[in-house]
Structure 1
Amino acid sequence: MTELHITQAMIDAYDEYTHLSLDRRKFMDKLTRLAGSGAAAAAIAPLLAANAAHAAMIAEDDARLKAEDITYPGAKGDVKAYLVRPADQSGKLGAVIVIHENRGLNNHIRDVARRIALEGFLALAPDFLSPLGGTPADEDAARDMFKELDAGQTIANGVATVAFLKEHESSNGKVGAVGFCWGGGAVNDLAVNAPDLSAGVAYYGRQAEAEDVAKIKAPLLLHYAGRDERINAGIDAYKAALEAAGKEFTVYVYEGAQHAFNNDTSEARYDAQAAGLAWERTIAFFKEKLA
């Protein structure tokens, strides 16, 4: 087969499939037209998707960490989660909620939680699909489950997560949140609804409604991908609302980067340079706000 060439139109089609109305069959039909053949489309599709087989940056059994699966009280029943802290913890730590994409609490997000913990934080990655039984192994099935979530209950579970971490024995009482894609939108929702949130970092996430911005108390760090027209359409209105309300926020747009540029399991969309810079800024932000 000739060398595979992934175009922006292919990436846009995948975004439409994962976030909007395109189903799997229609996506593959469209990708086949764009790629020129069914064989090429079949080879390109895995490069666009996240690949669970990619190795984690931080091993699950890394001796520098203590990690466990837990449950904690949500708004209406227990929430499943992955809790990680430094093994050599001395004193109380700033706490960070790590909010998953629209694939649920998968191995990639667990890996991100471990990365956060290694930076000296108490990291908790909740499974916001818990009201529906939790994240399934099939990530396409997980994506479909997000349509069934009750938005109000999801927000209430986020608020309950802040309360849980604020009172955790290893926490210093300051709680931040970082989220990616669906999770980025969840961070913005959390900033509106959780006055105790100390810092929020949203990666390419849906913005809060302008009329809700006045409720935000936490400083925000907002990362966007330059080639993400769907999400970026809301940046200007969000910035204007935040400025008008006198909120503390910083916006970075990573030119040339794709939506989901931080997800290193997605070969076609991962951008090491943008991800590295955004991560440095995220950790510095949390170290300042959660100390």
Structure 2
Amino acid sequence: MTSATSASPRVTTYDELMARARAGELGPDPAALRIAVAFTTRQAVRHTGRGTGYRNEVLSLRLAEAVGSCAVEPGTLPDSAVEDCVGVDLARLLEHPLLPVRVAALDAYLMHVTPHTPDNGARPVSLPAGTSLEKSRARARAVVELLDLPPGATVLVIGVVNSLLEALRSRGMAYVPCDLKGGATEWDEKVVTDASAEAGRCDALLVSGMTLGNGTFEPLREHALRNGKQLVMFAQTGSAVLPRLLGHGVSAVCAEPYPFFWLDGGPGTLYRYRADGAGGSR
């Protein structure tokens, strides 16, 4: 099987990946490719039976058949960002002053070059139709299954999703919930805000792709690589970006390109990758 990382020049850091994309070393010249459609998706949710809710906002860029996405904190993306991207070539967007635009552009480019197919190392996982909570729980199970840990292990969860915490609890794992917004979990557990202060006492890291868009991903990748820890990414943001870093700190990725599971009640598909090749790319 040809994997997403072995089919092209290997990269070891996000910055190197971005530099090679800008130079056209990973596929077509980005200056020759233009974004046809740019849009944002805004969502507020409180699943039936849950006491807390949350909001999402995602910037997405359409390149031919591919859509690249980057989540942002709701309300932080200027309205002008969408218009800035339409009809603009990828080379310019990969240099855009806003980090979320650069991440979405890179994701669209890599989705265009190496889509989520078996030849590129992806293993599809079907999500059944269902309520928002049913689909959230199914997604969470698919993510948590990528962790190779015994009961009693402690996982640092960055980007708190209650269904992920619930899935960890069902497997007898402890966790430290971490999110820049702070707050509390569904079970009234304190959500810490400083990942670097907590990573050392955890056995593995379960991390949202949103860390690409807020600039906090690389220290986490470096920590996992330096300490030999599993780093599993659940990625709506950068679903085509993170598989390129498998084996360089990232141990597995559950990639979820647009449209995301929370957009409708029908069936969907996730794509899993593993650095060891057991569940995807290597």
Q: TM-score, normalised on structure 1?
A: 0.35
Larger Rg: 1
Normalising by structure 2, report the TM-score. 0.36
Greater RCO, CA 8 A, separation 6+: 2
Higher share of residues assigned helix? 1
